[in-house]
Amino acid sequence: MNPSPLAVEVTESAAMSMSALLEIADLCTEAYREDFTGVFGLLGPGVHVIARADGRIVSHAMWVFRELQTGTGPPLRTAYVEAVATRPAWQGRGLATEVLRRLTLAIDGYDLGALSPSDERFYARIGWEPWRGPLFIRTATGLDATPGESVMIHRTPRTPPDLNLDAPLSAEWRPGELW
């Protein structure tokens, strides 16, 4: 059986139908084996990169705006990547790679791309770099260390050339998963 041609689109959350958002939540629930109902409400509005085959969403990634800060440097406008998932029956066909390649082209107006990887080797293979420095969450009372977390970055044309991957990196607090 020949697979149907893959259609990849980039769409803002606000322009998506409720049925498409529910289909993405279903895809992520299936891929992660955890309930994604309501997760997108916690993440806030974002931009989705969707791969469709036969009209059905089979792979997905999205980014939300976050400000990451290295040490005491200025905040970096960051496209923070979330919910990278492919339906299990479609995994192993390069769909997530294609979705992420499209995503990295679309975030060129940001200072940085970042994500918390589930599989560092997968992301490294397509050009993402591990952050080596300590990670923190910014709160009203200061910086809270987040040991055990990992972050990878994708450089854009706007990434500062002197970006130090060994420096402390912080993100603002948010409900749900901090990174």
In a domain, 1, yes or no: no
Say which CATH number the domain at 163 has: 3.40.630.30
In a domain, 178, yes or no: no
Residue 77, in any domain of the structure: yes
Phi, psi of 80 (to 5 degrees): -95, 120
Please, which pLDDT band fits residue 88 given cuts at 50, 70 and 90? very high
Among 39-48, 109-118, 124-133, which stretch is predicted with the lowest mean pLDDT? 39-48
Residue 2 lies in a domain: no
Range of the domain at 57: 7-172
Residue 1 banded pLDDT, cuts 50, 70, 90 = very low
The dihedrals phi and psi of 164, each to the nearest 5 degrees, come to -100, 105
Please report the pLDDT score of residue 95 as a whole number: 95
Residue 179: inside a domain, yes or no? Answer: no
- Cβ atoms 158, 108 nearer than 8 A: yes
Handedness of CA 173, 176, 59, 90 (dihedral sign): positive
Give the tens place of pLDDT for each residue, 146-171.
999 999 999 999 999 999 999 999 99
Average pLDDT, the chain: 93
Structure confidence by residue, pLDDT tens digits, 124-154: 999 999 999 999 999 999 999 999 999 999 9
- Considering only 2-6, 22-26, 34-38, 114-118, which range has the smallest mean pLDDT? 2-6
Q: Is the pLDDT of residue 41 over 70?
A: no
**Does 73 fall in a domain?**
yes
Site of tokens 């130090």: 164
CB 86 within 8 A of CB 58: yes
Looking at the structure of the chain, the number of domains it has is 1
In a domain, 177, yes or no: no
pLDDT band at 58 (very low <50, low <70, confident <90, very high): very high
